[in-house]
Structures are given as structure tokens and as C-alpha cells.
């Protein structure tokens, strides 16, 4: 929720503008960053458990639950038996991009940056978002589905089972190394506590309508308006 007591944009640790040409990679969180919703909460609504799941999500994003993997497993267990049709409905009817998301990604790509989507959410949604925004790499969690319904579990992938904060950081650094970029040439954009590890590793950390703990540690905090406000500090 937007905090009306905060200025639309806060900056710490540097004097703008930064040179966009000095950056080569941007890593984005998805839920409540690139898109307006927390997908897991909307899936839970189909099971009549949105309030219960959303409370865990909110606590995890505020940093009150330190073990993201445990918080995700607890929420996943509540989704057991939800039909795949519910996911399709969320994608079709609920998923919307945050203001400025398309514009920011297009501008970064036009400047030659590679884009990474790192999410504690699900490939069912990240694949769509990545395709829409022209994102180069994606790392997220794979829902386990049997007979058309969620089992409440996740599928083990080559890199692991759950994309938590540390995995987001590893993915940012791995993609940077792949293109020969240093961490200082990377930016990381997120809103929750599990984004802090990658934000701490990047040369520029950006909080978007984020939890207080995240705003306090980010170099740029966008507290109102669109993601494309970041372009006002990048030239």
C-alpha cells in the first residue's frame, strides 16, 4: 500500500543523474514490482484461503518471517487441490503490469541492458511476464500439478526447488558473469525482504512501493507513481 507520508522519490548514497551507459544488466522481482498483484494470494482466493495466505505473504515481504522457503511451503500447502483453471483465471483477469513497467524495460533494452526476472513466484506467470517485457533470463518456482490440480508442492529444477533471496542474488551474479559485467554494472529492483540480497549485490538498488525495511536500504525508493520514474535518475 502506498505511504502518502513519503515523497514520490527518495535517493541516498549518490547524486543523480547516473549514467545509464554504465549499467549492463537489470534484475527485477515480479509480484508487486513488475505486476500489481501477489500471484500466490490470488490463487489462494480460488481456494477460499486468500486472507490466510496473504497474511503469510505480507509477513514474509516485511521480513518478519526470516525463512522465505518455509513461508512459501506453508502457503503452498494451503493451495493443495486448487485447479489449474484458477491459475488461468488469475493470469487472464487479475494480472496487470505496474505503471511504467513496460516503458522502463523498453528503455533499458534500448540502452543495451540485459534483463533478468527473478521471482519467488511461479513459472506459470513469469513466462508470460518475461515474454511481454522482452526479458532475457527467468528464474522462478515450478508448481507441481497432477490431474489438473495443484499438489501443494513444487517441482525440483536443475538449480534447486525454491527461488529465495539468496537464489535471486546468485542468479543476478551468474547472469552478470555470463555477459562479462561486474556487480557494479547491475541494478536490482524489488519490493520485499527477499529482494534485499540481490539489491545488496548490485551497483544500484531500487525499491518500488516497497516495505519499509526495503526502502531504508535501497539507493532509490520509488514511493508513488510508475517504475519509469527510475529513468529520471539515469541519463
d(CA 49, CA 40): 11
Q: Starting at the edge strand that comes first in sequence, how are the strands of the sheet with 114-122 ordered?
A: 9-11, 220-222, 204-208, 186-190, 25-28, 114-122, 137-146, 149-155
Q: Is 191 a catalytic residue?
A: no
Catalytic residue among 31, 41, 195, 228: 31
Query: Cis bond leading into 17, ω under 30°?
Result: yes
Catalytic residue among 29, 41, 191, 228: 29
Domain map (residue ranges) of the chain:
9-37+97-233
Predicted TM-score of the model (pTM): 0.94
Residue 3: per-residue pLDDT = 56
d(CA 107, CA 95): 22
- pLDDT 10s digits, 149-192: 999 999 999 999 999 999 999 999 999 999 999 999 999 999 99
> Residues 99-117: what's their mean pLDDT?
98
- pLDDT 10s digits, 198-212: 999 999 999 999 999
CATH topology of domain 9-37+97-233: Rossmann fold (3.40.50)
Arithmetic mean of pLDDT over the chain = 95
Q: Is 195 a catalytic residue?
A: no
- pLDDT 10s digits, 19-70: 999 999 999 999 999 999 999 999 999 888 999 999 999 999 988 988 999 9
Question: At how many degrees (to 10) do helices 68-77 and 50-62 cross?
Answer: 180
Residue 195: per-residue pLDDT = 98
Amino acid at each position: 500500500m502506498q505511504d502518502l507520508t513519503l515523497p514520490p522519490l527518495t535517493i541516498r548514497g549518490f547524486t543523480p543523474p547516473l549514467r545509464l551507459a554504465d549499467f549492463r544488466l537489470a534484475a527485477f522481482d515480479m509480484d508487486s514490482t513488475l505486476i500489481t498483484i501477489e500471484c500466490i494470494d490470488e490463487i489462494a482466493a480460488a481456494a477460499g484461503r486468500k486472507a490466510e495466505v496473504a497474511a503469510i505473504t505480507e509477513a514474509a515481504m516485511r521480513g518478519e518471517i526470516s525463512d522465505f522457503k518455509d513461508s512459501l511451503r506453508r502457503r503452498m500447502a494451503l493451495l493443495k487441490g486448487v485447479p489449474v483453471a484458477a491459475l488461468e483465471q488469475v493470469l487472464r483477469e487479475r494480472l496487470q503490469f505496474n505503471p511504467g513497467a513496460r516503458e522502463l524495460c523498453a528503455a533499458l533494452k534500448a540502452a543495451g541492458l540485459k534483463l533478468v526476472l527473478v521471482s519467488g513466484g511461479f513459472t506459470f506467470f513469469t513466462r508470460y511476464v518475461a515474454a511481454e517485457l522482452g526479458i532475457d533470463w527467468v528464474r522462478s518456482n515450478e508448481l507441481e500439478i497432477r490431474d489438473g490440480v495443484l499438489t501443494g508442492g513444487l517441482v525440483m529444477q536443475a538449480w534447486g526447488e525454491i527461488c529465495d533471496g539468496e537464489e535471486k542474488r546468485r542468479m543476478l551474479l551468474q547472469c552478470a558473469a555470463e555477459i562479462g559485467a561486474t556487480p557494479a554494472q547491475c541494478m536490482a529492483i524489488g519490493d520485499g525482504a527477499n529482494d534485499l540480497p540481490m539489491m545488496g549485490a548490485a551497483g544500484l538498488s531500487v525499491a518500488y512501493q516497497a516495505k519499509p525495511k526495503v526502502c531504508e536500504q535501497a539507493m532509490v525508493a520509488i514511493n508513488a507513481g510508475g517504475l519509469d520514474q527510475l529513468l529520471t535518475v539515469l541519463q
